Amino acid sequence: MKTRKSIYELVETSDTLPFDVSLHSVNYVPSHWHNSVEIIFVLRGSLEVTVGHMQQTLSEGDVKLINSGHVHEVIGFHNNIIATFLIPDTFIKGNIRGVEHAYFDCDSSTAGKESRPALDRIRQLLAEMVQMNYKRGEVYELEMRIRMLSVFSTLMQRFRTEEPEGEGAIKEKYMDRMLRIINYIEEHYQESITLQEIAEQEFYRCRIYRSF
């Protein structure tokens, strides 16, 4: 099987909200990963989503969660409209105790009947956040935070499980190191960062060769 190259996506949030909520249509999103949990809510049409080597089709009303650090690709069909929610690890870990190593198996297209009430609750909360994201009332940020935390409360209670082997998470030898470097750059992006400083963070000697 041919290995697809994936890119790291830097998830940017606004000054007022620590996670991203957007409504759009999608044609093709190439293979990528990020330090955020992603939730896809299909409002119209259908999508083909590949996480790792697992490919599936999502239809109208489906909700799928993609865990942080998992390589994924999306192809859209039939004039689709989707709501996407990108929730950075920093927000999740800063607000939910015990979530550091959590893995969520939340996928309405494969879930059993026993999960329907929880999925309906999540759909309701996601739909409310989409509406509020455009109305922007006086307590917009607070109400959005409350709903997102309610989503994760449901996820922690109903969809938390053990991560399967080979599910699609980045497993390369230097994954942890790469994430530390990315986080360091994100935290110091307004400063003048040198390659030497990054190397020192990882206890490496950095040799810079200059050609003349």
pLDDT in tens, 11-57: 566 667 899 999 999 999 988 888 899 999 999 999 999 998 899 99
Classify residue 173 by its DSSP letter: T
How far apart CA 35 and CA 67 sit, in angstroms, is 9
Structure tokens at 94: 């800063």
pLDDT in tens, 147-157: 999 999 999 99
Are 40 and 66 in contact by the 8 Å Cβ rule? The answer is yes
Structure tokens at 85: 């929610």
Q: Check residue 116 and give its pLDDT.
A: 95
Residue 9 has pLDDT above 70, yes or no: no
Residue 173 has pLDDT above 50, yes or no: no
pLDDT in tens, 76-120: 998 899 999 999 988 998 998 877 778 999 999 999 999 999 999
Residue 175 has pLDDT above 60, yes or no: no
- Residue 108's SS3 state is coil
Structure tokens at 113: 């009947």
Residue 207 has pLDDT above 60, yes or no: no
| Cα 29 from chain centre | 14
* Confidence band of 202 (pLDDT split at 50, 70, 90): low
Beta-carbon count within 10 A of 131 CB: 10
Tokens 């990020």, residue? 34
* Confidence band of 208 (pLDDT split at 50, 70, 90): very low
Mean pLDDT over 67-75 rounds to 91
Q: Check residue 178 and give its pLDDT.
A: 61
Domain parsing of the chain, residue ranges: 7-161, 172-212
How far apart CA 121 and CA 23 sit, in angstroms, is 19
As a CATH number, domain 7-161 is: 2.60.120.10
Q: Check residue 32 and give its pLDDT.
A: 85
The pLDDT > 90 percentage for the chain reads 50
Q: Check residue 2 and give its pLDDT.
A: 43
